[in-house]
């Protein structure tokens, strides 16, 4: 399948996959606030593009179908009553004023709640501070409501009768010693309030034990804490004197052989769509849509004030709305192209996060190289990649998500984790049954500063990869290395081979990575073949970090089945967007992937979606405090039989400029490499860099 080349700028109507514009957000707001049932206390919990069915988009692009209608999904919460609805709004063929609410689903709370609103967060301090039990518990710990900040956190689901159908958050306190003091250094442990945000009351106060509040500050931005600045670092300047190599048309980007759309969503943040690679003049699709659709941060501390810590930063908090504006610089270097992110606030009004998405090129070292013994050929080419990224701040943590597209067809997604650890007092409170003495090791946290704990936890990201490898007829083969027994045909016992197992259906698609056999998953086209007659494909190369560590019977395991495996594969269904379901907040479980695979649809030769879980299991280091150097987690998609050979043979050799010289003196180059040697290298198709290396 070749996608029709559609230039967005020539279209009167927006591209069906284009992010909602400011004007569209305004139109949606007007449609919603004028509809029946909208009250003064109704807030917009989510507004985003309701994407047309993939089939309709592809038909339109192929010229065989009409332009699909523009629609939006709008989630509304009445703060006074808790009434929650999930609506589809039709924008009326793009004509502002012509739209209607097409459908409304009323949530009954039994299968999760709408995401937590900032409006609810903002009300929390007033609610807990007005409760004398909270004030008394703080006094027991030698502090007051004026000295602490409160941190409202998603509640999870624990079958407490007073929480059924109610909007609940759990609240921890941190002492802030002065206005610029970072409160994460001073957790008020042993205390937690469960709060009904609609009723404005504490439903339960957990006052487990009185623990000393850690005293040492964590003000990493205080020069006194930072110490004498390192003075030996000289500037590094990235220079692209002829500008970047990409071209941008609205949200559509072309770079080298790549083409794709840069989209943005309030829930998922950066969304990449319709990634294709032009190979010998043919635009070949690879991924229809890629995003981090969910992420879960489950904590392993069974303390009575922390056992419920399981944050779904995407489904519960909508991490896209906390996207950083990169306008202040320092986040990206080189020739940067920023994209703004446009969202709706909780009143439905559009607002813009300027420079929310960053795009730039990077030199990443050697692409390929050989010095040949027999022919004397010296060849080296440099790899470069296009980086599309955003950063979001969710409470204490900051997450960057970086997509890398390389010249050789490799696609990588890297999560960067930084910010401040979530803290506890250390030694903490012993779990029931655990033996624990003050000063002894606490089995569920690291001591990162004197008396300050950082509970063990995981960061489990779910990438939703809606694949279209050479079209929509795809399948997944599990590939692994197999040691063969010594015997007839393998007399010397050296034999090993590659085993390929087709994943037949959704129910059998839940798979674990296994580094001991280099397990990977090949997404192959079941109709297209390469020049050897084998299916064209892309390999998903996982990191083999642990999946969800919580017990399979735990609440969180039921709520996050996606995180119990590294891979699930489902047949494309436009309603299946989020690995933990649409309504994650207080969802009792059995949603998302659990539901999506229940009908056990075929995934062999079908339009398929991969759900890949990756991310670190974090035993915090002392060095992660008071601010954490970036930790990384990633996965890679590599062409595997997609091309007929190395697709980068035509990448030109680099000019022999300053970066090939030593000591910053370009003339050194000429001194080492004689003109004759340099021209010989050129004649052989090599660069003078290679010639230089020969003489070095």
Any idea which residues carry the catalytic annotation? 313, 397
User: What token pair was written down for 372?
Assistant: 């040949």
Residue 618, interface with Co ion (CB under 5 A)? yes
Answer whether 542's CB lies under 8 Å from 612's CB: yes
The residue of the chain with the least Cβ separation from Co ion equals 618
Query: CB atoms < 10 A from the CB of 24, how many?
Result: 24
**Which element (helix H / strand E) includes 140?**
helix 132-140
Rounded distance between C-alpha atoms, residue 89 and residue 20, angstroms: 12
What torsion do the CA atoms of 488, 491, 493, 497 make, to the nearest 10 degrees?
-50
- For the stretch 425-435, what's the b/e string if a residue is b when 16 or more beta carbons lie within 10 angstroms of its beta carbon? bbbbbbbeeee
Q: Which residue shows structure tokens 């692409």?
A: 367
Residue 460, interface with Co ion (CB under 5 A)? no
By beta-carbon proximity to Co ion, the closer residue of 360 and 618 is: 618
Dihedral sign for Cα atoms in the order 438, 439, 441, 443: positive
By beta-carbon proximity to Co ion, the closer residue of 446 and 661 is: 446
Stretch of 218-226, 349-357, 376-384, 613-621 lying at the interface with Co ion (CB under 5 A): 613-621
Stretch of 281-289, 346-354, 429-437, 614-622 lying at the interface with Co ion (CB under 5 A): 614-622
By beta-carbon proximity to Co ion, the closer residue of 44 and 319 is: 319
How many residues bind to Co ion according to rule CB under 5 A? 1
Query: What's the min distance (Å) between Cβ of 417 and Co ion?
Result: 6
Query: What's the min distance (Å) between Cβ of 589 and Co ion?
Result: 24
Rounded distance between C-alpha atoms, residue 455 and residue 463, angstroms: 25
| Maximum Cα interatomic distance, the chain, rounded to a whole number of Å | 88
By beta-carbon proximity to Co ion, the closer residue of 83 and 416 is: 416
Stretch of 359-367, 369-377, 398-406, 618-626 lying at the interface with Co ion (CB under 5 A): 618-626
- The CA–CA distances, whole Å, from 71 to 49, 93, 240, 574, 587 equal 6, 9, 41, 13, 26
Stretch of 114-122, 375-383, 528-536, 617-625 lying at the interface with Co ion (CB under 5 A): 617-625
Strand-pair partners of 366: 382
By beta-carbon proximity to Co ion, the closer residue of 123 and 415 is: 415
Tell me which residue of 111, 112, 115, 172 sits closest to 141, measured CA to CA: 172
By beta-carbon proximity to Co ion, the closer residue of 167 and 618 is: 618
Rounded distance between C-alpha atoms, residue 618 and residue 142, angstroms: 32
Residue 175, interface with Co ion (CB under 5 A)? no
By beta-carbon proximity to Co ion, the closer residue of 566 and 618 is: 618
Strand-pair partners of 152: 171
Query: What's the min distance (Å) between Cβ of 421 and Co ion?
Result: 7
Instruction: Spell out, one character per residue from 482 to 511, where the chain touches Co ion: x when CB under 5 A holds, - when not.
Output: ------------------------------
Q: Where are the alpha helices (DSSP H) in 487-634?
A: 555-559, 593-596
Rounded distance between C-alpha atoms, residue 610 and residue 506, angstroms: 10
Q: Which residue shows structure tokens 């692994």?
A: 480
DSSP letter (8 states) at residue 602: B
By beta-carbon proximity to Co ion, the closer residue of 73 and 182 is: 182
Q: Which residue shows structure tokens 């500008």?
A: 243
Query: What's the min distance (Å) between Cβ of 97 and Co ion?
Result: 48
Stretch of 53-61, 433-441, 526-534, 615-623 lying at the interface with Co ion (CB under 5 A): 615-623
Stretch of 34-42, 433-441, 554-562, 612-620 lying at the interface with Co ion (CB under 5 A): 612-620
Tell me which residue of 540, 536, 541 sits closest to 470, measured CA to CA: 536
By beta-carbon proximity to Co ion, the closer residue of 261 and 314 is: 314
Tell me which residue of 465, 462, 461, 444 sits closest to 453, measured CA to CA: 444
Answer whether 508's CB lies under 8 Å from 602's CB: no
Our CA angle for 356, 360, 365, nearest 5°, is 140
Rounded distance between C-alpha atoms, residue 690 and residue 682, angstroms: 9
By beta-carbon proximity to Co ion, the closer residue of 104 and 418 is: 418
User: What token pair was written down for 114?
Assistant: 């709408």
Rounded distance between C-alpha atoms, residue 602 and residue 149, angstroms: 51
H helix and E strand count, the chain: 10, 32
By beta-carbon proximity to Co ion, the closer residue of 70 and 618 is: 618
Rounded distance between C-alpha atoms, residue 528 and residue 244, angstroms: 34
Rounded distance between C-alpha atoms, residue 468 and residue 286, angstroms: 5
Query: What's the min distance (Å) between Cβ of 420 and Co ion?
Result: 10
Burial class (CB in 10 A: 0-12, 13-18, 19+), 294: buried
- The CA–CA distances, whole Å, from 174 to 138, 213, 344 equal 10, 9, 31
By beta-carbon proximity to Co ion, the closer residue of 253 and 633 is: 633
Phi, psi of 457 (to 5 degrees): -160, 175
Query: What's the min distance (Å) between Cβ of 221 and Co ion?
Result: 20
Query: What's the min distance (Å) between Cβ of 599 and Co ion?
Result: 36
Residues that bind Co ion (CB under 5 A): 618
């Amino acid at each position: 399948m070749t996608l029709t080349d559609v230039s967005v700028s020539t279209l009167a109507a927006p591209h069906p996959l284009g992010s909602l514009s400011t004007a569209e957000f305004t139109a949606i707001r007007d449609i919603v606030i004028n509809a029946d049932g909208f009250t003064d206390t109704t807030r917009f919990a989510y507004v985003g593009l309701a994407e047309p069915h993939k089939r309709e988009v592809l038909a339109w692009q192929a010229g065989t179908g009409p332009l699909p209608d523009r629609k939006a999904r709008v989630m509304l919460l009445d703060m006074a009553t808790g009434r929650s609805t999930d609506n589809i709004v039709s924008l009326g063929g793009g004509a502002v004023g012509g739209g209607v609410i097409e459908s409304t689903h009323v949530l009954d709370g039994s299968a999760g709640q709408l995401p937590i609103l900032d409006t609810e967060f903002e009300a929390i301090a007033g609610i807990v501070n007005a409760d004398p039990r909270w004030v008394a518990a703080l006094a027991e710990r030698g502090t007051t409501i004026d000295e602490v900040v409160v941190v409202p956190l998603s509640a999870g689901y624990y079958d407490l009768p007073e929480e059924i159908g109610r909007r609940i958050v759990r609240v921890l306190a941190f002492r802030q010693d002065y206005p610029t003091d970072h409160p994460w250094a001073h957790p008020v442990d042993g205390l937690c309030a469960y709060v009904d945000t609609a009723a404005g009351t504490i439903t339960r106060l957990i006052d487990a034990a009185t623990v000393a509040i850690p005293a040492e500050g964590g003000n990493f931005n205080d020069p006194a804490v930072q110490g004498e600045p390192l003075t030996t670092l000289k500037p590094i300047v990235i220079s692209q004197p002829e500008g970047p190599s990409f071209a941008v048309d609205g949200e559509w980007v072309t770079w080298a052989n790549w083409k794709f759309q840069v989209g943005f969503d309030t829930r998922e943040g950066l969304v990449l769509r319709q990634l294709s690679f032009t190979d010998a003049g043919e635009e070949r699709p690879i991924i229809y849509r890629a995003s981090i659709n969910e992420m879960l941060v489950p904590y392993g501390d069974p303390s009575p004030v922390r056992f419920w810590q399981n944050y779904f930063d995407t489904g519960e908090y909508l991490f896209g709305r906390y996207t950083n504006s990169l306008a202040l610089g320092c986040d990206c270097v080189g020739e940067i192209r920023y994209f703004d992110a446009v969202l709706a606030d909780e009143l439905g009004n559009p607002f813009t996060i300027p420079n929310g998405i960053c795009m730039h090129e990077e030199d990443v070292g050697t692409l390929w190289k050989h010095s040949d013994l027999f022919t004397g050929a010296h060849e080296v080419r440099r790899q470069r990649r296009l980086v599309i990224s955003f950063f979001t701040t969710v409470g204490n943590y900051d997450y960057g998500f970086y997509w890398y597209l390389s010249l050789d067809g490799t696609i990588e997604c890297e999560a960067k984790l930084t910010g401040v650890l979530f803290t506890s007092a250390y030694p903490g409170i012993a779990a029931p049954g655990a033996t624990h003495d003050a000063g002894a090791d606490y089995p569920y946290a690291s001591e990162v500063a004197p008396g300050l704990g950082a509970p063990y936890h995981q960061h489990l990201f779910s990438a939703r990869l809606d694949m279209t490898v050479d079209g929509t007829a795809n399948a997944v083969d599990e590939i692994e290395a197999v040691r063969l027994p010594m015997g007839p045909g393998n007399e010397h016992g050296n034999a090993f081979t590659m085993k390929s197992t087709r994943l037949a259906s959704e129910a059998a698609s839940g798979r674990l990575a296994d580094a001991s056999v280099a397990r990977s998953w090949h997404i192959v086209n079941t109709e297209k073949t390469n020049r050897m007659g084998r299916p064209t494909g892309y390999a998903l190369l996982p990191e083999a970090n642990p999946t969800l560590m919580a017990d399979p019977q735990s609440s969180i395991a039921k709520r996050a089945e996606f995180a119990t495996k590294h891979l699930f594969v489902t047949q494309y269904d436009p309603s299946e967007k989020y690995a933990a379901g649409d309504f994650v907040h207080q969802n009792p479980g059995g949603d998302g992937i659990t539901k999506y695979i229940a009908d056990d649809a075929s995934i062999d030769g079908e339009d398929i979606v991969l759900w890949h879980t990756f991310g670190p299991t974090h035993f915090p280091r002392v060095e992660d405090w008071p601010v954490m150097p970036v930790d990384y987690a990633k996965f890679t998609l590599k062409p595997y039989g997609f091309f007929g050979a190395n697709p980068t043979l035509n990448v030109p050799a680099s000019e022999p400029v300053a970066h090939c010289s030593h000591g910053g003196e370009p003339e050194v180059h000429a001194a080492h490499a004689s003109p004759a040697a340099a021209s010989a290298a050129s004649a052989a198709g090599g660069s003078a860099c290679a010639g230089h290396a020969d003489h070095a």
